[in-house]
Amino acid sequence: MTVSSSGRGGTVTDPDRVGSLLPSDREDVVDLVAEVSRVTGSVAVVGADTVHDHRSARRALDLVWDDILSTMSASPAVTAHAVDLLRRVKAVDEALLRRDIATRNQLFGRVREALSALSEIQSTAALVATVPGVVCALGFDRAFISRVEESVWTPEHVVVERDPAWAGEILSIGRENPLTLTAALPESEILRRRVSLVVENVQQREGVHKPIAAVSLSRSYAASPIVTGGEVVGFLHCDCYYQQRDLDETDRQVLATFAEGLGQVLARTLVLDQVGAVRSGLDEIAARLHPSGFGGSMGAALGAPTMPATPAVPTSRPAPEPGFGRRTGAPVPIAKADLTRRELEVLRHMAAGDTNARTARRLVISEGTVKSHVKHILRKLGASNRAEAVSLWWQMQDRTGGASA
């Protein structure tokens, strides 16, 4: 995990962070709150220790503004000092707003740069391992990426900027407690509506992932769906634990924009993974159908460098790594897959290289029926595609000496 330094305590003040408050701005707000309290004779509307980011600072300014107006409405005379305080509150608030806008523009520029860098990654596994660190670079302290499969939410990779050991604990707890998404969870709404959310009061809420909430000590977090091919395949979560601030609308927008771009990048790496898997499967099929060599493998036909002619040896496709858009279970041996007689016939034609249309003609059934059988075959075998199913067929032929299934 790409994290630095250590320690769970302490706070971080970084002007480049999302919503961070400059020390000079904080002093201006705290001084105004104290002065308004003296002028109005009321208890300070907020404590100095609660002004720690732009959101809390602007909330404090709203409260003192209302306090001044309330005092002025109750008094027959409007003092020059009160008017001056209103002007100062307005000036500080507008300065914070301008900085908010500038920071937001800067952040979305960072999102574009981050997505551009991710587009260079060529595999899904590498992408998943990289993403949480990139999210932290956008201004968050902690981030993790999860996969969603059949409504089960499982963390894949966690980064805690200042504590890699803590990241490991959070990941371990998350993997030991994969959570089925129920209506009470905010993530269920994210899955259903495909929207990003900010979740507050995490430690007090019932509808959260309790084991992760307990080990992470998170106060508030933002979460976004990762969508590829029109389907939610995972989540991104982040928070600002060390900055000790609640996340706000800017945080949500930043994460949502990044997650949207990530979905597009992920879709491309998934295609690359699948092309690699299919190519491996095609090489194996070619080797089986043409044991004398066939002038090189199917890989050569697809543009790979040709090798000296040697007896063709079937190559095994590497087992796909669990993750987004992939089946996580191991393929099921054909003998244990409970295939029907017709499904075995269709699989036999698949292994012979027949198309769906040709299989339909040979078995005197419709092409739609063949497609339905192929779908059932892939599901029962736990195969990701036709090439993997055919590979399992040839493995069975090896074990049975070529006898019919």
Lowest mean pLDDT among 61-70, 203-212, 334-343: 334-343
| CATH code of domain 330-405 | 1.10.10.10
User: Per-residue b/e over 89-128, b at no fewer than 16 CB within 10 Å?
Assistant: beebbeebeebbeebbeebbebbeebbeebeebeebbebb
Q: Give all strands (DSSP E) within 12-127, no chain letters.
A: none
Q: What is the pLDDT of residues 388-403, one digit of tens each?
A: 788 777 777 666 555 4
Secondary structure (3-state) at 107: helix
Are 65 and 51 in contact by the 8 Å Cβ rule? The answer is no
H or E, element range at 143: strand 142-149
Domain ranges of the chain: 23-106, 108-270, 330-405
Distance of CA 306 to the CA centre of its chain: 40
| For residue 320, pLDDT beyond 50 | no
Average pLDDT score over residue span 250-270: 91
Q: Give all strands (DSSP E) within 195-256, no chain letters.
A: 197-199, 221-228, 231-239
More confident residue, 4 or 268: 268
State pTM to two decimals.
0.59
Alpha helices in 243-366 (DSSP H): 249-289, 298-301, 341-351, 356-363
Secondary structure (3-state) at 158: strand
Q: What is the pLDDT of residues 197-231, one digit of tens each?
A: 999 999 999 999 999 999 999 999 999 999 987 88
Secondary structure (3-state) at 355: coil
Write the burial class of residue 315 (CB in 10 Å: 0-12 exposed, 13-18 middle, 19+ buried). Answer: middle
Q: What is the pLDDT of residues 67-121, one digit of tens each?
A: 888 888 887 666 788 888 899 999 998 988 888 777 777 778 889 999 998 988 8
What's the CATH class of domain 108-270? alpha beta
Query: Rounded to a whole number, what is the largest CA-CA distance in the chain?
Result: 104
Contacts of 267 (CB under 8 A, 6+ apart): 228, 229
Task: Please state the φ and ψ torsions of residue 142, each to the nearest 5 degrees.
Answer: -140, 150
Domains 108-270 and 330-405 share a fold: no
More confident residue, 250 or 337: 250
- The residue whose two tokens read 């198309």 is 355
Task: Please state the φ and ψ torsions of residue 159, each to the nearest 5 degrees.
Answer: -125, 125
Select from 271, 286, 276, 281 the least CA-distant residue to 325.
271
| For residue 61, pLDDT beyond 60 | yes
